[in-house]
Amino acid sequence: MKIFDIVTLTVNPALDKSTHFRGLVPEQKIRCETPRFDAGGGGINVSKAIAHLGGSSKALFTSGGFTGEMLKEIVKKEGISFETIEIHSDTRESFVAVDDNTNLQYRFGFKGAEINETEKNKIIQLIQELKSDYLIVSGSLNEGLPVDFYKKIAEITKKSGIKLIIDSDGEALVKVLEVGVFMIKPNVSELSKLIGVKSLEMEEINHAAKQIIANGGAEIVVVSLGPQGAVLVTKDFYEFVSAPNVVKKSTVGAGDSMVGGMVLALSQNKSLKEVLRWGVACGSAATMNEGTQLFKMEDAKRLFEWLKDK
Ligand SMILES: Nc1ncnc2c1ncn2[C@@H]1O[C@H](COP(=O)(O)OP(=O)(O)OP(=O)(O)O)[C@@H](O)[C@H]1O
Ligand SMILES: [Mg+2]
């Protein structure tokens, strides 16, 4: 069996359904265009981003019901290797509708699929058997998974020497940092919450990230700043890269695209400077596309080339 350098885990994936309509009117039928279906959820998006860059990864995700079957079909069509943990409840859907009259986007999310004890143990077992260099865990936790579930994963990967990258927030992330991981990618508001302050000014970010690193929470902290760009911090490195000016269509998936770009660069032993620039390039390239679509390889490459000399 092929061993993948990069594996992603999505415990709470979604079948993303998106459409367009004209005019949001209550009590009337709103005619929507034929929907587009995409595979969604943090880890799956990271795997998609890696595939867009010509890299390969394996996506591990839970799947249940018709929505789960459809999710698998879509992931397969994208050419991504995957393995599922079959669950008793239905994979959730998400619904994105754009009003073409106003160009405003409405995003509806549903509760995540419930996971029982047996299914939870199946996920743990898969992680215990894992032999990759990197594991990326991204997204929210489902009903039925304890808040320290990602912490448990961190304990396992620490023992097996797999570099764990976590993109999640709140209590789940706080718990993970008690064990310590290879890399985290909070945005600035997630970072503020993490260290228990209301907000952070630009010049305070380095200190906040260094604090997490000094406490053994992570080796690399990348803080994304939306249209402003991102900073990468390690115990002896700090750099800020401004995001390029692009025509923004939708920021959905910007964070996951960024993580995908960075982990692929890391797996190719690129320097931290390049890793950060690939992250910003892929994140910004993702904002150039509509709805749930991530980014085009040529956009990411062009933005990276431009950032290289900055
Ligand atoms: N409006 C924008 N213009 C240009 N680049 C952007 C914009 N928004 C996001 N980006 C790019 O995407 C990266 C990640 O974005 P952001 O900080 O919004 O992540 P996030 O909050 O984790 O997003 P997500 O909602 O996907 O989880 C940024 O560092 C930047 O490179
Ligand atoms: Mg994010």
Gap between the Cα atoms of 301 and 53, Å rounded: 9
Q: How many other CB atoms sit within 10 Å of the CB of residue 309?
A: 6
Q: In the numeric block, which tokens belong to residue 175?
A: 């718990």
Kindly identify the ligand whose nearest atom is closest to the C-alpha of 225. Answer: 1
Q: Which of 46, 191, 287 to mutate to test the pocket of ligand 1 (most atoms within 8 A of CB)?
A: 287
* Sheet of 104-109, strands arranged across: 36-40, 14-21, 92-99, 104-109
* Res 292: pLDDT: 75
CA 139 to centroid of ligand 2, rounded, Å: 8
Distances (CA, A) of 36 to 33, 66, 137, 214, 228: 9, 16, 26, 45, 30
* Res 143: pLDDT: 81
Domain boundaries, the chain: 6-23+31-308
Residue nearest to atom 21 of ligand 1 (CA): 187
Q: In the numeric block, which tokens belong to residue 17?
A: 């359904």
The secondary structure element, H or E, covering residue 135 is: strand 134-138
* Res 238: pLDDT: 96
Gap between the Cα atoms of 305 and 310, Å rounded: 10
SS3 107: strand
| CB-based burial, 216-253: b 16+ in 10 Å, e otherwise | ebbebbbbbbbeebbbbbbeeeeebbebbeeeebbebb
Q: Which of 16, 148, 167, 256 is catalytic?
A: 256
The secondary structure element, H or E, covering residue 50 is: helix 42-52
Strand pairing report for 14-21 and 36-40: antiparallel
* Res 10: pLDDT: 97
* Res 290: pLDDT: 80
* Res 127: pLDDT: 97
pLDDT in tens, the chain (310 residues): 567 899 999 999 999 999 999 999 999 999 999 999 999 999 999 999 999 999 999 999 999 999 999 999 999 999 999 999 999 999 999 998 999 999 888 989 988 899 999 999 999 999 999 999 999 999 989 888 999 999 999 999 999 999 999 999 889 999 999 999 999 999 999 999 999 999 999 999 999 999 999 999 999 999 999 999 999 999 999 999 999 999 888 888 999 999 999 999 999 999 999 999 999 999 999 999 887 779 999 999 999 999 998 7
Indicate the length of the chain as a whole number.
310
Q: Which of 284, 292, 303 to mutate to test the pocket of ligand 1 (most atoms within 8 A of CB)?
A: 284
Gap between the Cα atoms of 20 and 33, Å rounded: 6
CA 35 to centroid of ligand 2, rounded, Å: 25
Ligand 1 close to Cβ of residue 124 (< 6 A): no
Strand pairing report for 58-63 and 6-10: parallel
* Res 2: pLDDT: 63
The pLDDT tens digits of the residues spanning 19-73 come to 999 999 999 999 999 999 999 999 999 999 999 999 999 999 999 999 999 999 9
* Beta carbons of 16 and 40 less than 8 angstroms apart: yes
Gap between the Cα atoms of 281 and 302, Å rounded: 8
Ligand 1 close to Cβ of residue 283 (< 6 A): yes
* Res 163: pLDDT: 98
* Res 115: pLDDT: 95
Residue nearest to atom 13 of ligand 1 (CA): 283
Residue 236 known to be catalytic: no
Ligand 1 close to Cβ of residue 229 (< 6 A): yes
- Give the bridge partners for 95, in sequence order: 17, 108
The pLDDT tens digits of the residues spanning 93-125 come to 999 899 999 988 898 998 889 999 999 999 999
Q: In the numeric block, which tokens belong to residue 32?
A: 């929507």
CA 124 to centroid of ligand 1, rounded, Å: 31
Domain 6-23+31-308 fold: UDP-N-acetylmuramoyl-L-alanine:D-glutamate ligase (3.40.1190)
Distances (CA, A) of 191 to 94, 199, 218: 26, 9, 13
In 53-180, which ranges are continuous DSSP H helix? 65-77, 117-128, 149-160, 170-179
Kindly identify the ligand whose nearest atom is closest to the C-alpha of 187. Answer: 1
